Amino acid sequence: MTQLSVVVPVFNERDNIPPLLAEIAAALRGKVEFEIIYVDDDSTDDSVAVLAAEKARYPELRIVRHLTRSGQSTAVWNGVHAAKSPWIATLDGDGQNDPADIPKLLAARDGAPDTMRLFAGWRTTRRDSFNKRISSKIANAVRSSMLKDATPDTGCGLKLFDRAVFLRLPYFDHMHRYLPALVKRAGYYSQSVPVGHRPRTAGTSKYGMLDRLWVGIADLRGVAWLMRRAKVTRVEEL
């Protein structure tokens, strides 16, 4: 039985695919029954061809392809829908997250209460450009102040969460940046786990500072509204 599904969204990451696949396999083989689901967001390079070629080396690999470009949140959403495991680990496809940290998240889960359904990577040392670090720091501060989600780093692509809980969350574009708040809204808790972070070695970043700022402002208002309207009631069957 598959115990873990690793979902990796990608857009034009052909040079990062082979090394990241090798690292995922090295981190998890012999430790847990797993599958790897790459979701290609209608790449304009040959990412899909590279993935297809890698299937011979990695029987755990599955490929989901968007027919139109739809963004990272939709890629994660479709990957989770396709997953066969009750637990999902996500990684960014640019190679900046270290798959060797996945067992650390699994260990945190195994030692946590059942109400803890999300384990979020916390990049304590960022390996990004100055502008990217500053924009993330500002965004995290504003988000934390508005949503009270008690999470220092929601932008880290490395996460582990309960598939069933995720599929009950309200879906919207960019929702992946607000998972701790959405999980809290659903009546559960999240835990931040310190993880490594690496510089990008191939390809280019797909997001700029202004993209994150203006989209983030609109999203924050929407998520704050969802938080205010939430009502979770515990029930029992008699």
Q: What percent of the chain has pLDDT over 70?
A: 85
Give the residue-averaged pLDDT of 167-195: 93
Q: Looking at per-residue confidence, does 225 or 21 come out higher?
A: 21
Is the model more confident about 43 or about 235? 43
**What pLDDT score was predicted for residue 210?**
46
Residue of higher predicted confidence among 214 and 181:
181
Residue 68: exposed, middle, or buried by beta-carbon count in 10 A (0-12, 13-18, 19+)? exposed
CB 35 within 8 A of CB 79: no
Query: Are 50 and 10 in contact, with CB atoms under 8 Å apart?
Result: no
Indicate whether 177 pLDDT > 60: yes
pLDDT at position 157 over 90: yes
- Which residue, 201, 202, 150, is CA-closest to 179? 150
Query: Residue 103: its pLDDT value, please?
Result: 98
Q: Is a pLDDT exceeding 70 seen at residue 125?
A: yes
Average pLDDT over the chain, rounded to whole?
88
pLDDT at 129: 58
Model pLDDT, residue 141: 60
Question: Which pLDDT belongs to residue 164?
Answer: 98
Query: What's the confidence (pLDDT) of residue 17?
Result: 98
More confident residue, 204 or 170: 170
Topology given in CATH for the domain delimited by 4-229: Spore Coat Polysaccharide Biosynthesis Protein SpsA; Chain A (3.90.550)
Question: What pTM was computed for the model?
Answer: 0.86
The rounded Cα 92 to chain-centroid distance in angstroms is 7
Distance CA 180, CA 172 (A): 15
Bigger pLDDT: 234 vs 50: 50
DSSP-assigned letters across all residues of 31-71: TS-EEEEEEE---SSSHHHHHHHHTTT-TTEEEEE-SS---
**pLDDT bracket for residue 209 (50, 70, 90):** very low
Nearest Cα to Cα of residue 177 among 196, 149, 208:
149
* Choice among 24-38, 54-68, 146-160, 161-175 with the minimum mean pLDDT: 146-160
pLDDT at 221: 78
Query: Which tops the pLDDT comparison, 141 or 63?
Result: 63
pLDDT recorded at residue 203: 77
Largest CA distance in the chain: 58
pLDDT at 84 over 60: yes
